[in-house]
Structure 1
């Protein structure tokens, strides 16, 4: 009888705890509001498949020779990005005009890798400029092997040009009086392909203090359709990884933003803690997550041209790339303009 009584008490305590947690999640859900709908649509629509295509056919071309970290092609790609931000009058957070965060040769585990650069530009927040939302994409790739150029149009040319267009959309909005409350950092990362070393360097040498970094939205391969969705004849999807791991509020905001503006299928297949592919730890967002910064990894899944010289810009689905880039923009907008910082799961 005593054992039965103890078991009953423990069951009751567990039930109460579950009930309280469910109530907290429901409160979170009710408190997440989508704002600025007309403005978001206006500037999201400036992200177009035509501009994405124009950028990517230039970016994933012979000129940049596969963009291998530390090599001439990567240096040319960095210069291309810097000149783009100058042309758009989007400044750098490093003394306004220094767009490169230099990573010395000595930093890399591989002693054959030369010094490299992260490329940074930003929009300064109007109300809370010290707080920042980071949108990232790596711009390096695999270079040349056996005389074959690895163009990396999807990996991660697609994320790179999406980030360029997202930055332009924020700048157009700011120029019309709709600047974000928080700062937004557009972070082009080098050395992802050799072990996430560009993002590791940034998090160890942050331009904005990590404690003031609200979230990281990381874009790595968003221009193609994987076999799973090809077989379902479904193009309008995106895999999201990590959104609920540190902040369920970020997950809720992400879903509500998508429903309000884009309505892609949000596929969480690879967000499973037991995912055998381990995608959560395989792109640059992971280094931010290591510092308890909420993250979302946007990903289209692998395809037959992944890490092959056949990953070329003619194979990109630009209309789908447009939708996915608009989703990231809309999500970043909500984060940058919401009243409060995200609630972390550890605080629930």
Structure 2
């Protein structure tokens, strides 16, 4: 009887250990490809047709349309069950009117949500895009800003959904991921500057990288015959390791043309200094700026959601998701050169 009981205990122990090992192995082998299909052209289109509609009145900083945009973003995170890092239920980082140097007559707000890292929660990967646009023209035309930067905004919402799906399966990222929607980019990068210079919710010294998305839904004239591209700016300026990770991820999963034309230090457009990643770069935080280039509808009422190429938006958003996944889950934090 004792021998039978002993054998039974040993059998249970072996099965239990095997089960634990399988769980650990499964957790260690979870891949971005298990979740990237959550990011779809249909979902992006549905969100953008609302976000870049006339109801949002061009999302001018501090105006009612921009406030609706902030609420739209907040409500998405609430629906996904992704919390705010500021306080429970408070997704807005309020920016007072005085910060805008008289460029804006009303206060505004950044919108923040986050997924806490499972192993290295103090290290933070930021994915950013600006939520504002240029508002209503003097003749009454609404500048919907579907590409600039509705495309980046809805891309982050879908990327967040993919990460949350992984969390729900028990595969949360090792590092914290901050989904940062900044205001007042169009009038001087104020929202991102407020976050970096005044009120960094997570210490800048703990910020691993900023992946900034500003216009990824269209094709510029240079690439009309080769759609499968995206401009990358800044990837190698502070961390060669970041650049190499970005290249490796692209070659492994997408094989897009990564166009570095605007990454040249002598680029007359100076795009490196013209979007929200710059406020992180100036603080020695590695960045990548994802960009499709300008087009005839840039900053015009004709930048509408019907002109977005949603299959391409899907691919670019998935590329960014894979890159963020790698940065958040690799053993060592990327190094600054």
Provide TM-score, normalisation by structure 2.
0.90
Provide structure 1 residue ranges, at least 5 long, that are not aligned to the other structure.
1-34
Partner of 1:149: 142
Distance 1:123 1:106, change over 3 A: same
CA distance in 2, matches of 1:314, 1:294: 34
- Quick check: 1:152–1:311 contact (8 Å CA) kept in 2? yes
Tell me if 1:196 matches 2:189: yes
> Does the CA contact (< 8 Å) of 1:69 and 1:113 recur in 2?
no
Q: Is the 8 A contact 2:143 2:300 kept in 1?
A: yes
Give, in whole Å, the separation in 2 of the partners of 1:37 and 1:177.
Answer: 12
Contact persistence 1:105–1:113 (CA under 8 A): yes
What does residue 208 of structure 2 align with? 214
Q: 2: distance between equivalents of 1:259 and 1:73? A: 40
Q: Out of 40, 44, 51, which is 1:52 matched to? A: 44
Whole-Å Cα distance in 2 between the matches of residues 103 and 129 of structure 1? 26
RMSD, aligned CA:
1.2
Q: Name the counterpart of 2:287.
A: 295
Contact 1:138–1:191 under 8 Å retained in 2? yes
- Give the whole-Å Cα distance in 2 for the aligned partners of 1:120 and 1:261: 29
Gaps of 5+ in 2: 1-26
Cα pair distance change 1:37/1:237, threshold 3 Å: farther
| 1:158 counterpart residue number | 151
Distance 1:127 1:94 in 2: 21
1:1-348 superposed matches below 5 A: 39-145=31-137, 146-204=139-197, 205-230=199-224, 233-345=225-337
- Equivalents in 1 of 2:160, 2:257: separation in Å? 24
What is the CA–CA distance in structure 2 between the aligned matches of 1:235 and 1:170, rounded to whole Å?
A: 27
Q: Structure 1 residues 112 and 199 mapped into 2: Cα distance closer, same or farther (>3 Å)?
A: closer
Deviation track 1:235-292 (CA, whole Å, cap 9, x = no partner) reads 1100000000000000000000111112111000000010000000000000000100
SS at match of 1:218: strand
Q: CA deviation at 1:111?
A: 4.7
Q: Is the 8 A contact 2:103 2:187 kept in 1?
A: no
Q: Supply the distance in 2 between the matched residues of 1:291 and 1:181 (Cα, whole angstroms).
A: 24
Distance 2:322 2:28 in 1: 10
Give the drift of 1:36: 7.2
In the alignment, the residues of structure 2 paired with residue 236 and residue 123 of structure 1 have an alpha-carbon distance, to the nearest angstrom, of 30
State the TM-score, normalized to the length of structure 1.
0.87
**Cα distance change of structure 1 residues 36 and 297 upon mapping to structure 2, 3 Å threshold:** farther
Shift of 1:113: 3.0
**Could you list the per-position Cα deviations for residues 100-151 of structure 1 after superposition, in whole angstroms to 9, with x for gaps in the alignment?**
0000001102354310000000100001111100000001000001201000
1:5 paired residue number? none
